[in-house]
Amino acid sequence: MDADPGYTPGVDDSPSDLRRPTTATAARVLEVAASRAGQGIRGAMATVVERHGSAPGTPGQKLYLAEDGTCVGTVGGGAIERTTLHALQAMVRDPRAKHAVREFKLGPELAMCCGGRLSVMLEPIEGVIPCLLVGGGHVARATAPLLGKVGFAVTVVDAREDWFGEEPIDNVTCVNGEYDEVARDFDVRGACIVMTHDHSLDQRAVEWAIGRGFAFVGGVGSRAKAERTQQRLEAKGVDRELRERVRMPIGVDIGARSPDEIAVSIAAELVAWKKRPRK
């Protein structure tokens, strides 16, 4: 791989916005990556796959960088490692980044005279994104497991006692209680989707989600309901910018009617939101 055009060997030895990697075994690197992903933190991993000739890396070595600055492992140190860190950083910042195999030539461009080559696989690691579904009706029961399969950690909350006794949803956290109490400490970097059995409850839940500052707020309902929701928000003095962030009716327009169809449309919109470049 050619040297990073923004990197000068011997000068940019320690990029100011990147931490020096903490030494760790490949197994430990995987543990850290899994832990961060489980917390909803995006990252990227570099793995040495081949070594030709004289080169510092060993096949199997791993280097991981997370968007929170966590940096562990190694791919051999020196200029190779610094250039790899730049590549990992670019990958972390781009939700659309794809796997790639890069080849380092240990020559003058990296200020190294080993003469060997090192092949490194770079792969993005998506963090699961927290998603709160307020309301546990038919649409929620169709939507929750689908979202769980496309990178969201889903929690469904419903205050109805008879709902709590129903069959649990696979791989989804189901909680019986009031949403504002149950989700008091919910991670607002994620999404909140409102789909209760009562329009007035939907309105209160949407207002609560806006006030909490969720990154994505959506609601199930007709266009007429969406218009009334917007009018009520405006009447309560909610800023226009915040009102416009509410996605109602949520979902890609595919003509959905049944709960399963609506679930597909909601999942599609949330996947699209998740893939947008971070600011």
Question: Per-residue pLDDT averaged across 207-223, rounded?
Answer: 93
Same domain as 83, residue 188: no
pLDDT given at position 55 = 64
**180 and 253 in one domain?**
yes
Burial 54-91 (b: 16+ CB within 10 A, else e): ebbbeeebbbbbbbeebbbbbbbebbbbbbbbbbbbeb
Rounded average pLDDT over 155-183: 84
* Alpha carbon distance 71, 69 (integer Å): 6
Q: Are residues 191 and 252 located together in one domain of the fold?
A: yes
- Nearest CA to 220 out of 114, 141, 150, 117 is that of 141
CB-CB contact of 251 with 147 (8 Å): no
The domain that holds 190 is classified in CATH as: 3.40.50.720
Residue 56 lies in a domain: yes
Identify the pLDDT of residue 177: 92
Q: Please check whether residues 135 and 233 belong to one and the same domain.
A: yes
In a shared domain, residues 108 and 174: no
| Least confident residue range of 120-124, 137-141, 162-166, 233-237 | 162-166
Give yes or no: residues 101 and 190 share one domain. Answer: no
CA atoms within 13 A on the CB side of 125: 27
Residue 267 banded pLDDT, cuts 50, 70, 90: very high
14 lies in a domain? no
The verdict on 133 and 117 lying in the same domain is: no
Q: Considering the domain boundaries, does residue 21 fall inside one?
A: no
In a domain, residue 19? The reply is no
What CA–CA distance (Å, rounded) separates 209 from 201? 12
Give the mean model confidence (pLDDT) for residues 230-234. Answer: 91
pLDDT for the residue 52 = 77
- Domain shared by 199 and 133, yes or no: yes
28 pLDDT band, cuts 50/70/90, is: very high
Among 99, 125, 151, where does a domain finish?
125
Average pLDDT (236-259) is 90
Residue 4 predicted with pLDDT over 50: no
- Do 136 and 89 fall into the same domain? no
**Sheet of 117-125, strand order:** 71-73, 62-66, 43-52, 117-125, 100-105
Q: Could you tell me whether strands 71-73 and 100-105 are parallel, antiparallel, or unpaired per DSSP bridges?
A: unpaired
Q: Decide which of 100, 125, 150 is a domain's last residue.
A: 125
Helical (H) or strand (E) element with 174? strand 173-176
Within a domain: 276: no
For 153, half-sphere exposure in the C-beta direction (CA atoms, 13 angstrom radius) is 15
Predicted confidence (pLDDT) at residue 164 exceeds the cutoff of 70: no
- pLDDT at position 274 is 87
- The pTM is what? 0.72
Measure the N-to-C terminal CA separation of the chain; round to a whole number of Å.
28
Q: Are residues 113 and 153 in the same domain?
A: no
**Beta carbons within 10 angstroms of residue 159's beta carbon:** 18
- Range(s) of the domain holding residue 35: 26-125
pLDDT band at 7 (very low <50, low <70, confident <90, very high): very low
Q: What angle do CA 182, 186, 190 make, to 5 degrees?
A: 135
Number of domains in the chain: 2
**205 CB neighbour count, 10 Å cutoff:** 25
Q: Is the peptide bond before 249 cis (omega within 30 degrees of 0)?
A: yes
Pairing of strands 246-247, 216-219: parallel
Mean pLDDT of the chain: 85
Which of residues 93, 125, 157 is at a domain's end?
A: 125
**Is pLDDT at 247 greater than 60 in this prediction?**
yes
CA atoms within 13 A on the CB side of 147: 35
Same domain, 156 and 245: yes
Let me know the angle formed at the C-alpha of 278 by 29 and 146, rounded to the nearest 5 degrees.
Answer: 75
Assign 70 to helix, strand or coil: coil
User: pLDDT digit string (tens) for 87-140?
Assistant: 999 999 887 888 999 888 765 455 455 567 888 999 999 888 999 999 989 999
pLDDT at 214 over 90: yes
Res 118: pLDDT:
84
For residue 8, tell me if it sits in a domain: no
Most confident range (mean pLDDT) of 12-21, 99-108, 256-265 is: 256-265
pLDDT of residue 15: 43
Residue 110 DSSP one-character state? G
pLDDT reported for residue 76: 83
Looking at the fold, whether 150 and 252 belong to one and the same domain comes out as: yes
Would you say residue 16 lies in a domain? no
Output the pLDDT for position 3.
Answer: 31
61 located within any domain: yes
At 229, list the tokens.
């929701």
Please say if the pLDDT value at position 191 is more than 60. Answer: yes
Residues 6+ apart with CB under 8 A from 12: 6, 82
| % of the chain at pLDDT higher than 70 | 86
